Amino acid sequence: MLHNDAVTALTTRPGVDSLVIAALRRAGASTSVGVDELLARARRWGPDLEAGVRAVFDGPAADDLVARLAEVVATGWIARPEPLRARDRERLLTPDWFQRPDTVGYVAYADRFAGTLSGVAEHVGYLRELGTTYLHLLPLLQPRPGANDGGYAVADYREVREALGSMADLEKLASTLHDNGIALTIDLVLNHVAREHPWAAAARAGDARYRDYFLLFPDRSVPDAYERTLPEVFPEFAPGNFTWDDEVDGWVWTTFNDYQWDLNWANPDVVCEFADITLFLANRGVDCLRLDAIAFLWKRMGTDSQNQVEVHGLTRALRAVARIAAPSLVFKAEAIVGPAQLVQYLGAGDYAGHVSDLAYHNSLMVQIWSALATRDSRLLVRALEKFPPKPTTTAWATYLRCHDDIGWAIDDADAASVGWSGPAHRAFLSRWYLGDAPDSFARGAAFQVNEATGDSRTSGSAASLVGVEQALEVGDVPMLERAILRLRCAYAIVYGFSGIPLLYMGDELALRNDRSYLNEPEHAGDKRWMHRPRMPWDAAARRHDATTLEGKVFEIVRHLGAVRGSLPALHAAVESAPVLTSNAAVLAVVRRHAAGDLVQLYNVSEDWQRCAAGVLGTLRWRELVDHLGDDVPRIEDGQLVLPPYAATWLGAR
Ligand code: GLC
């Protein structure tokens, strides 16, 4: 039974739509064109906004925050340019745009790809050649001067990094991309701001309001209590999770580098600030926000302070704000966490379909590398088959490489299920990809070796990790051909999994590790710069010459993108199911779809392999076609025969 006061509160509390209309009235905009649609959306997503807020805050604080967010919605919507409102209407008719098989992603630093934002616009043709429909430009907002973690230490969310151009250039680029069928993603760094951000500057100057934007402690007692259960993200160059700051006269929570100050998301002011920033960026024409380091937003004593349920409440509220005011905006969660937690970022239980639309599939990435090193796909299958289904309206962002290192997130229980030890396998993978194993094909570097846990992560470009660098070093042509096939096999898994495949800049040209970062004082201490090369446009010019390395690899990824676009069975509403075959070296990924089943087979080894044809399921061999254009594998004695590193997408003719 609800208490009488609660009943009164429930019946008298205004809904989000009423709050929005009241805010529009105050702004003199309650009769503007499009208000009906806005209010319809407020009725549709208002309950989400409320549910998100009330998952984190209680009583009057929650009521107040709901009202403030409704105000943010109203002002954000008033400021939304008409072409973007038109885009909203279009996207609402195609809410699955990012799930469609013809979605192909490309990820680059604007400066490293093309110098400036207008430079990026000049290379739209190149992106189109690759079938790109989604472009993620790595951090481009104004960072702090000096070291800034590749832009992940933001000093101003409303300005573009000077060297790249201006906000007006960003708007212009977004519009050029839209005209070319490409959606724009940028990073929204939510967990922390730069020590030089005006909020942090005000906190350092002693402003109580802004001190409460951060997690500050007068002495070590509370930090020490937290540290007992906190992991370290950068044990080598930023050990610990707290930094003493003389100006603040206290310890600041700094999960990442000492100049990246974690925000206090328990403060409703912080929530409002980011709701406002979200709409500000959406109104510049950004289509997707990559929610950087989102797993870390909420801290809880006695835990690792990652993946706390409040994170999902906060995402739900922010997403509802965007859905109402700028519904073409989607969210992509960057949560590099274990399999059990990962799916929660797309929504599990009460949050299903109410949080991020996209999330990085970190497990798939790690498992592909593991399968290539071991020539064994069983661990991949074991790890992925345990994944709960994701909401049908969401999609994975699949990838082989990105601007970050590879953390060997192999679950101990998964490893045990194939008879391996988790710690030993993780140690094996970091040694292997370092190139520190007698028969390793890789050339990587160890990143953030943690003496305490023995963990060591890996830096390196895809081409260097699959063996291209080694083959070129020794000048061995068959070895190079093998490395190219290995890269094709890996990228075919990424492109064939459904969701958005993210091609990381340079992989399409088989760019090797770039060690020039060692001569740049700002980057020399961070080995991730080894795989953040500058685009060599002279090498890119060889991309149409099939006799060159660049030409071969470019054609491989271009073709994967083109084929994927033609296959309805790759729509992300349907799950990919990796399944064991009769041979550990052969991975099968099965997609059951109303448009027809698709069975993908990947030989993760350099030898010929066979596997029982039963894996074809409902498909009949006589009617098979390989959509990737290779010959359909022949059958001998009930076994499919697959050449080295075969990658084949089989469907009915
Ligand atoms: C994300 C970024 C990484 C950065 C970190 C802190 O993980 O991908 O590059 O160092 O967040 O912002």
Tens of pLDDT, residues 563-590: 999 999 999 999 999 999 999 999 999 9
Report which ligand 1 atom has the smallest distance to the Cα of 255. Answer: 6
**What is 101-149 written as a DSSP string?**
TT--EEEE-HHHHHSSHHHHHHTHHHHHHTT--EEEE---EEE-SS--G
Range(s) within the chain of domains with CATH label 3.90.400.10: 198-262
- pLDDT the model gives residue 70: 98
Q: Which CATH number fits domain 93-190+267-569: 3.40.50.720, 3.40.50.300, 3.20.20.80, 3.30.420.40?
A: 3.20.20.80
**Smallest CA separation from ligand 1 atom 5, residue:** 293
Residue 191 CA to ligand 1 center (angstroms) comes to 10
The answer to whether the CB of 150 is under 6 A from ligand 1 is: yes
Choose which residue among 292, 296, 360, 365 to substitute to test ligand 1 binding: the one with the highest number of ligand atoms within 8 A of its C-beta. Answer: 292
Active-site option among 50, 292, 411, 526: 292
**Smallest CA separation from ligand 1 atom 7, residue:** 293
Report which ligand 1 atom has the smallest distance to the Cα of 404. Answer: 9
The answer to whether the CB of 232 is under 6 A from ligand 1 is: no
CATH topology of domain 573-652: Immunoglobulin-like (2.60.40)
Range(s) within the chain of domains with CATH label 2.60.40.1180: 573-652
C-alpha angle 20-21-25 in degrees, rounded to nearest 5: 120
Active-site option among 48, 88, 334, 507: 334
Task: Give phi and psi for 572, each to the nearest 5.
Answer: -70, -5
Residue 148 CA to ligand 1 center (angstroms) comes to 11
Q: Note if 292 is an active site residue.
A: yes
Task: Give 474's DSSP letter.
Answer: H
- pLDDT the model gives residue 7: 47
- pLDDT the model gives residue 306: 98
Residue 293 CA to ligand 1 center (angstroms) comes to 6
- pLDDT the model gives residue 74: 98
At residue 78, the 3 state secondary structure works out as: helix
- pLDDT the model gives residue 451: 82
- pLDDT the model gives residue 452: 81
- pLDDT the model gives residue 10: 52
Report which ligand 1 atom has the smallest distance to the Cα of 152. Answer: 12
**Smallest CA separation from ligand 1 atom 4, residue:** 152
Please give the Cα distance from 533 to 540 (Å, whole number).
Answer: 13
Which regions of the chain are under pLDDT 70? 1-11
Token reading at 577: 């199911």
The answer to whether the CB of 130 is under 6 A from ligand 1 is: no
The answer to whether the CB of 526 is under 6 A from ligand 1 is: no
Long-range pairs, 613-617, Cβ under 8 A, ≥24 = 613/638, 613/639, 613/640, 614/582, 615/579, 615/581, 615/582, 615/588, 615/590, 615/640, 616/640, 616/650, 617/590
- pLDDT the model gives residue 2: 43
Choose which residue among 141, 144, 149 to substitute to test ligand 1 binding: the one with the highest number of ligand atoms within 8 A of its C-beta. Answer: 149
- pLDDT the model gives residue 1: 41
pLDDT tens-digit series, residues 127-146: 999 999 999 999 999 999 99
- pLDDT the model gives residue 6: 47
- pLDDT the model gives residue 338: 85
CATH topology of domain 198-262: Oligo-1,6-glucosidase; domain 2 (3.90.400)
Range(s) within the chain of domains with CATH label 3.20.20.80: 93-190+267-569
**Smallest CA separation from ligand 1 atom 9, residue:** 404
Residue 532 CA to ligand 1 center (angstroms) comes to 14
The answer to whether the CB of 152 is under 6 A from ligand 1 is: yes
The answer to whether the CB of 189 is under 6 A from ligand 1 is: yes
Report which ligand 1 atom has the smallest distance to the Cα of 149. Answer: 10
- pLDDT the model gives residue 473: 97
